[in-house]
Structure 1
Amino acid sequence: MVLTRMAVPNLFLLILRLVASKDFIFHHAAHSGWRYENVSFETTAPTLGICGIKCVTQTPPCYAFNYRESDGSCQVVLNGESGLVEADGYISFAQWLCLTEHPTIPNTKVSFEGWRGEYPAPKGAMVTLLCDDPKGFSDGSPHHTSRCSSVTPHAWESSFQVDAVECKENPNTVYFLGLRATCLYWKFTGEKQYIYPECRLTEKGREYIGTERQTESGKTCLRWDTQPYGKPDDFLATVEYDDHFLNRDAWSQQNYCRNPSWKARPWCFVDDTQVQWEFCNISMCTVRDPPEFKMTQEGGEYIGRKNVTISGLPCQPWNTSKPYPASDEVASHLPGFPDAEDIDEDHNFCRNPNGDAAPWCYSEKLDDPGTEFCDIPFKEAQIEEGAEGNTFGKGKGIHWDKVDDPGTEFCDIPFKEVQIEEGAEGNVYPECRLSEKGKEFIGTKSETETGKPCLVWSEQKERTPWDFSWSGKEYYHLNFLGGDPATHENFCRNPGIYRERPWCFVSDADIKWEYCDIPICHDPKPLECKLTEKGGEYVGKKNVTLSGFPCWPWLSGAVFSFDFRDKLSAFSDEVDGNHNYCRNPEPGRRNHGPYCYFFSGSTMTWEYCDVPFCPGRDGEQCNIRVYGKCISPAECKTTQSSEDYTGTKQTTKSGLPCQPWLRNSPNDLVPLHSLKKWKFPDELHPSHNFCRNPDADAGGPWCYNGAGTDPRWEHCDVPSC
């Protein structure tokens, strides 16, 4: 075992107590004569202890600090990743984490166990390196590992010596769509090269989700959800019709060629009672290595080789029953596995047979129920921007020029970023959509693309669609941004999961609903602000809380251990394993804006994010809003309790600063927000720290002490009108 760490003559253990907290933060002397280079700020401290206090009193506490006794230099590191540089006189101190990048070997595939590859790496975090070369590494090993040491502070323990072990790059390896694939010296004949999803990866093509809708004889396919000839004989008798389709949904498959049974290849129903169905001509993919991305929210089509959860825990094989009943899932949802025929005792790849929110698996290292989602990104997340002029060929694949005999050549496949195209000038959000699906659209369009008037959403509870996460009229409201369909009136929206763009209900009983013609915004870049108090429409990239804690991925089992699919309708965008952006998918529980979950020590909790209201058309920021309208503050109270006070007083009667109502520090307000008993006369936003009386206290407006000292809260001196 090789220890990657600088020699330290003596180990010094520093224990510091956080102000106003019972937690202890341990920092260990990690490197003598070296310092962390990613310094957040530098100050001076007369002693090592004072420097340590400056470190741990940050919010959140710093990961590391450097101290030099000769001049009192105190450098605080708040970033999770940092390299080391030689620095005479310095000693670096760190929590028992690994801030430096793990040792690696070029040309290897990297997987993570016990963490997601984001720094700092926790104690015990494992990195596994695999070599594509058939002979393995130069020392004969099939794989190598590095682990953030549990014995020595801030040290990587590796099974190899850096620069002493090599992995030769497979000469047939190319990169396409962000994936490693092996090029088999294709013989170029001028024919198209077929790229998934518009081709089959397997002979039967049960994973095929392309857009071909004609049979090999030229007949047009019928919609699957109409069941034109009932349930076919080769469908399983014990499984419902819809459950034979990927994601357990026939409607979203429209009339595309599919293979929901186990026929030889994709097929579809046709309008011919004599033949009823025909095969489709779906080509085999040129590169048949399964892609490591998903095309749909649920990812039922995924047949990749990911076999660890989003937390890095190993998956339990599907065909086993201990410690969790994975084999029962196979028995009850067999058609939900696109590679069902390949399931054996070793098959432990992430799949989504039951139509959950994303691919998942069982893991023996998880507590009951033993399941967690996997980190399977969307296809777009795999693609990087290439050089100007790199474009896809037209049609279903790339048309390659012929080459001279022997007709073989290495593959040169560039990257191309897939992104939404800009709309016409003048299309400005919110009266346009920022994405293809437009789930974030909250404009005022109220007629369909054929001119039919939209019906009022709040009056359609009896018509809850099949693709709403929450079924039943009592939960109907939870499928909408903000959790209140009345606020959406009869405007075009896209609640639910499967619709392609904004739509609405119509009075025509034959069609029931129809899409709306909502243009793409000229600038599709998401706004970093909210338009409504709950901020359900927010699709920005903020991923830290108000107190600076990094957000945890929404699909992590630590966030929602079950029933995450119920949250999908109210999400303003689609979710994959990388999605850790501030959102508000629980509008019935979080009333004041986007938020996220994070770990505080070993406890998972949540906090609102710094997503302010968008400025008005005049560019001014509104501090006091009531029912979406900016009002002038009333700087006096009309009654003793004055629950309707909307002034801007932000200090207590003894002069203490008020803590913002949405911030969890220095006073933890999460339990109080969760109780939902507070009533504010105006809408809250991240900087709102004005005196209020949300609990109808007889003493009048008050606030929490933002200084973090006693008293915890105090009344404010608001004059009477």
Structure 2
Amino acid sequence: MIILYNPKYSDRLENLRKPNNFYTDGLISKQDLNYCRNPTAAERPWCFVSTDYRKWEFCDIPFCPGRKVDPECKLTEMGREYIGMVNVTKTGKRCLRWDEKGFAASLPYEMLLLSFRDPYTKMNFCRNPMSKEMPWCFVDDGDLKWEYCSIPLCERPSAPECKESLSGSEYIGAKNWTVFGAPCLPWSPPIPKLKSSPFSEISSPDNVPDDHNNCRNPDTSPGPWCFIEWTPKNQNFPLKVREACHVRSCFREEIEKTCEAEGTCNSNGFEALQIYPECRMTTLGKEYRGTQSKTQSGKKCLDWKTFPLKDIRLLLQQQLPVSDMKTLNERQYISEFISKQDLNYCRNPTSAEQPWCFVSTFENPVWGFCDIPFCPGRKEPVECKLTEEGWEYAGSTNVDADGRKCQPWLTSDPERFRHLNFLAFPDQIMDYSSNYCRNPDPKNESLWCFTEETGTLKGRRQCKVPFCYEVYERSALEGKPAQGYPECLQTAMGKEYVGTTRKTMTGRPCLRWDSQPYGKLEDFDPKLSYDDHFRFGNAASHQDFCRNPTLRKQPWCFVADPGMKWEFCDIPLCPNYPNKTECKWTHKAEEYAGTLNVTASGKPCLPWSNYESLKKFWPRFPEDVRRENHNFCRNPTGRKDLASCLVRFDGSENILEACDIQFCPFHYLH
């Protein structure tokens, strides 16, 4: 018989052992049909067995094979961090439940202990909530009220840098900076304006020396946190405020290690067919720059720019262990960073558990996780960047463009960290030695680092990290060119060509384009600068490769013969010619010569010949637009908002809208 819950009978659930204020009627009533569930944080899944909701029973749900269990050992002598399942004392006496009548009242902060410590605290497992010598429990043996338990020390008593429980109350790792990169202040002496130190005798999982500044959760917060020094705007003196730390779940880390060992690291259990950048290299996926735009449940993602991010507090509270962070409202750069994500593609600009996107803008933000597969054989992040800003770069370059050593990002300088967006870091883990080139400033247009230890924002230097297409060029010149695209022509004129051929049809070596050995020849447009004839608006980036910056019949290059000056190159047509390669080689897609003619939102494209103001950029189209009146998505100006097309005329203004073009698979990076 199916017994569904009716909220009006909520008073009949009193015999369910549950933490106060833990459940809501709505949560219980939304459980699936009559299946066994645990919406009240009981000991295990249960269900109703009577229609008047007065009777319920536990269900016998087997554990999954190979599940991770909490360690049956302690990391410290006192064992305040222990959350194992030993429930007998040294002498073999059976432990009583911590919430047994007559005992719970004798514990200070009983609700803190029984509701938030760990999932099993309200049961009868050995714990040490009151700073005794070791874990203990209540017993029923005449005058003997409690007794110590025998919990062995772990063979390798090093604290894990992850949390076993949802709240992380047992966490005793070494992390001592917040989710925004602020250095933690020591917990002692007690912080002013508090009745006492937050580390009472029952709440700290470890001892508290004077210099102890590690992230902890001594109260009912959603996760570990610490105090920081913060100077609000329009104020000349700092305040001590609390800010959350980002401590990962041990469960998720264990899953990641297991799938890596078994070679099954992907979202759906099947072999990941995607190649970077259409896959993710890490669990968080902050480096992901692919083009997926649907959530796990199949909902279409919304454009990041359309979401009104005036106050992101609610969003971060849903994704991060954020509770009372007075510093959040002053970090406007976070909103700016989120709004700068590409189109409606899945991204992770907030250090959530994995890539996500918005799916609704009504009143409160509604978002969902995306199912992005892991890259096959992933090991280390790629040593190149896809975008100019380089937010996706998670490599290990740690010197600036001139070879000067980068300084660690985490610093004790409170003025330095408040200007940086630490959510922009793509790293899974950061510590005080992390000094890799990154771009935690949404207003900066490239990767950089600090090269001086002193000074708030002094010593900022640009880094030289190659684009991924430049890595391919190096690989091709070393004797590993691709078969087919990009080493072939999609059009007869080959203006889209991005390959590495650098000899003419008679075998003459090409000269560098930026050397301009004979100046601007007659077929270069006199109204344009020399560089404007080339993709990216930069002749030097094309080195000495065959190109067609003018409107000649095929790619060519300059040669070291003043009488000849230049010569055509012999580059084959692509195997699928006259069909086009429907993917892009670079982030901006200036080289894209495909046939897509609708925008990311589904609007039809208008002919480019209607766009009078673009005539000066016609030499940078991958075809002769004067003769081929088409409406395909293009990016002749190199604008940052990706390839686009004309969708309507608004008086004197032409309205462009971005197109959804996938990256070509970068096999050379694997």
Q: Which has the larger radius of gyration?
A: 2
TM range, normalised to the smaller chain?
0.3 to 0.5
By percentage of residues, which structure has more helix? 2
* TM-score, scaled to structure 1: 0.37
Q: TM-score, normalised by structure 2?
A: 0.40
